[in-house]
């Protein structure tokens, strides 16, 4: 009886990480393509981990989280404009958050790293992983929260 219970538990837990969840989102092609060696040479170790391996920086570690100056946030890898400062808000999550991207400059996909589907965001120009999109943002604007890793961004102040 003990053997049957253990077998059932093993089957249940292994089915939670089945093929549907392991299936990778089809690789999109982006205008800027480089080899992994080139990306490693151009990005810091943390930027490479976040932007090329879909990692996450520690919350509250980015100085951009507390930046509310006027300007534009661009991709740290290719300088493509991604978010306007007027759409930034303090979500309290520890990552820079925006209620919308610059239209057409962010690409969306799905990741299953945590065992369930999440809306992943990439730079539409180079494919760098930025963060994730959620529907729990400010209701008075778009209701969206684009939760972005600060190391994936550079801030360009307004003139």
**Positions marked catalytic:** 147
- Could you tell me if residue 131 is left (phi over 0), alpha (psi between -120 and 50 degrees) or otherwise beta? left
The dihedral built from the CA positions of residue 32, 34, 36 and 38, taken in this order, carries a sign that is negative
* Contact by Cβ (8 Å): 147, 134: yes
* Contact by Cβ (8 Å): 152, 127: no
* Contact by Cβ (8 Å): 123, 107: yes
């Amino acid at each position: 009886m003990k053997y049957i219970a253990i077998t059932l538990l093993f089957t249940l837990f292994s089915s939670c990480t089945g093929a549907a969840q392991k299936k990778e989102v089809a690789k999109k092609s982006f205008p800027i393509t480089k080899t992994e060696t080139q990306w490693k040479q151009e990005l810091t170790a943390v930027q490479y981990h976040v932007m090329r391996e879909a990692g996450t920086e520690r919350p509250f570690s980015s100085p951009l989280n507390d930046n509310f100056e006027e300007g534009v946030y661009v991709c740290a890898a290719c300088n493509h404009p991604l978010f306007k400062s007027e759409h930034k808000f303090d979500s309290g999550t520890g990552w820079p958050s925006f209620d919308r991207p610059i239209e057409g400059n962010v690409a969306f996909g799905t990741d299953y790293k945590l065992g369930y589907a999440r809306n992943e965001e990439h730079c539409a120009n180079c494919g760098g992983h930025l963060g994730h999109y959620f529907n729990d943002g400010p209701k008075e604007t778009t209701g969206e929260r684009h939760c972005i890793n600060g190391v994936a961004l550079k801030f360009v102040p307004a003139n």
